[in-house]
Structure 1
Amino acid sequence: MTQQTILITGASSGLGAEMARQFAARGHHLALCARRTERLEELRAEINAAIPGCRISVRALDVNDHDAVFEVFRAFRAEAAAEGRRIDRVIVNAGIGKGAPLGTGKFHANKETAMTNFVAGLAQAEAAMELFRAQDGGHLVMVSSVSAKRGMPKAMTAYAATKAGVAHLAEGVRTEMHGKPQYKVSVIYPGFIVSEMSDRTRKPGLLMAPTEKGVRAIVDAVEKEKKSAAVPGWPWTPLAAVLKVAPLGVIRKMV
């Protein structure tokens, strides 16, 4: 695999931090951003101790500051260009999982999820495509969720809708760039993977993958430039297909 520079948002913890570790272990350089810069610095020190040759840039970013999204992405591009590199891949990973059943007085939580996951996701996709159009190529990766495959009840209603939204943003870009092989677009649909955002009542098992294993499946799918991947493949590839056709009564009991 050709060495690349990979920009990851929401990289200070959870899936984003583990993606950084695993991409670095595969020989790639990194551009990492998140709100908690102290965690980014700790992550950079950890990776550089294990992989001294890995180039790692870190910057503070709250993805809900949309102007800052563009500024940070452009700054990463300039920094990479100064070293003869470019931003080859952008992974739109930052997100939250707040939510409540609609009509229960918790609009603020659902709005926060919508703004962070979808509107900020749009800003990140815009900023990524600005870079890619300028260099005529690149790989856009949107981290969605298996829950995006179907409208979900209760506290997951808004969350699932936002994840379906970012998947459709990616599909729109893929459709526009069809016939231009220098542009790649991937949508990753994680199932249950242990992270800071995951349900703490679920223990690792068939449906809940440990962080390292779950992220390895994500990284494998991204490296293969898959257009769409439910991960880990077992059991989420067949379960994602079932979700799309299961009766509403079954969906209601699942969450």
Structure 2
Amino acid sequence: MITVTAKPQRRRRWRDLFRRRQTVLAVFSYRYDAHLVPDLLTNIDPIVDGWVALDDRASTGIVSSEFERQRTLIGAARAAGADWILAMDPDERFEIGAATAIRRLLYPRKPTAWGFNLRELYEPDAYRIDGIWGQKVRYRLFPVFDAAELPDRGMHACWYPRDGRYLERHCDLNLYHLKMIAPARRLARRDLYNHLDPELRDQPIGYDYLADEQDARFETIPQGRAYAPPHHDDGGLWMADLAAAVQTEP
């Protein structure tokens, strides 16, 4: 089920009176992580003009099609009048101050997809920085397009066509990922992806690194770059219980 929420229009700043205000809609789906949605909305409320949500809790199987969810959400956001899409997951949070910075990104000279530093939290206030962990970037803010043009590239696919229509630019804003905080979720995430992609077609580097903490190094969230609201971890899986799901498969 899709729901579309539009916020009342905000008063425009004087410097924006001579250009059309860009409408930013967040898109996300939820299933095992539905309880995280209220804090997600609190976090992104200063950034967006509304959101499109897909309730995936009626789906069967371990996971539903990521491609179909993306295409459905993009189509609904376009129909709702979005100029820009901000693609999120319920277990992600932007740093405080992102709203002002993101509004400045909405008027590029050429169509642009903006990337953010993905900070994998291992504690509510610290993220991992060694090796690949300190290099992760996720392109989540991009101009709206016809959802029929989105190709199916399997799991972990980009939210937009990477066919040259958009410049990909990195901005120094932090997007915090809560899922890795609990050790049980690190193991469960590794096992789930190995089950879904045993031949590593969607991610050639594999998934074992998700639970490998050898030589791990961490950085505390810098002052002034925290996220809100604060997170208090419940220790739940926030994903399918693979062992239980496999036992019930026909």
Fold in common (TM above 0.5): no
Higher RCO, Cα 8 Å, sep 6+:
2
Q: Report the TM-score when normalising by structure 2.
A: 0.29
Give the structure with the higher percent strand: 2
